[in-house]
Amino acid sequence: MKTIAIIGAGMMGSALAYPAFENGNEVRLVGTPLDRDIIDGCKKSNRHPKFDIPFPVGVKYYYFEDWKEAVAGVDFVIGGVSSFGVDWFLNEILAKLDPGIPVLSVTKGLINLEDGTLISYPDYWQRELAKMGINREVCAIGGPCTSYELVFHDQTEVAFCGKDSAVLHMMKEAMATDYYHISLTNDVIGLESAVALKNGYALAVAMTIGLVNRSHGKDAGLHYNSQAGAFYQAVKEMRYLLEMQGASRDCENIGIGDLYVTVYGGRTRKIGILLGEGKTYKEALDILAGVTLESLVVARRVYAAMVRKAELGQADLSMFPMLCHAAAVLDEGKDAQLPWDDFTFDQTK
């Protein structure tokens, strides 16, 4: 049995309490300063406000001011913050946590550097901690997994990545269940890139659903030709980007699986549909007020990185028409109608 502290009581961090506890571990769920109401509810009813199924009896709950108590004696910490909390997690947790305690992050995203290089959050944290004189590597989770379906115990395939194989095996042994299946890889940038890139592309694929609603009404049902056509282009562009990142083929495949599940459920699907229906970016944000939209951060960062690489002669933007289109819809007020002819190719001689 291991002792695991999860810091961040958002949906994905909280969802991991289920397999962690059900695999025989002691689990301590710690809310961030933004999660006080969530922890209040958990203490009163043993239930997360976003989940229909209560937590397993025995999960322990902590307010953020008690986080050091919660991590005392733990075998590892799971970081459950969103991409908007990356610097908060760096400064408030990683910089103060005993460097000997392994950390496993669920935060998905990339950071674009001045030269257009895209780095993972674990790489960013390691670089920033090194400036403070702290030597720490952070492991991460990636793969096609929505939080509410994990809570439902739907069969789920993910991967843990990190440089220390022994730590990864320890974490897998602690977390794997008969419904939560874990692959392991040392390809951190490959896995983290794959599961981050899918966010921006899922946004574009979901626009096709809204476009059908706009043209034929919301009772027209789902039309799979347009979704499949957009999905094909998304996979093609993701593969180009992942080749640039040096990702392994297995990590590419995990990213494609993650693209699939993100198109069919979650927050990215919602805003993509709204944009497809003709809503402006601002109107869509107003409708989804209070919803965390990490996909937008990824789309903008990856586009900015490719623009910079194109300026340096290291990338060709014509290879990324869907990425360029998504950026234009978000920031230039362009209509969501996809540039279908730009997705075609001619391989004739």
Report the percentage of the chain scoring pLDDT > 90.
90
pLDDT at 137: 93
> What fold characterizes domain 3-186?
Rossmann fold (3.40.50)
Structure pTM?
0.93
Domain boundaries, the chain: 3-186, 190-335
Q: What is the pLDDT of residues 118-152, one digit of tens each?
A: 999 999 999 999 999 999 999 999 999 999 999 99
Q: What is the pLDDT of residues 79-92, one digit of tens each?
A: 999 888 999 999 99
Query: Identical fold at 3-186 and 190-335?
Result: no
d(CA 190, CA 105): 15
Q: Which of 101, 104, 85, 111 is nearest to 19 (CA)?
A: 104
* Average pLDDT value for the chain: 95
Q: What is the pLDDT of residues 306-322, one digit of tens each?
A: 999 999 999 999 999 99
CATH class of 190-335: mainly alpha
Residue ranges in the chain modelled with pLDDT below 50: none
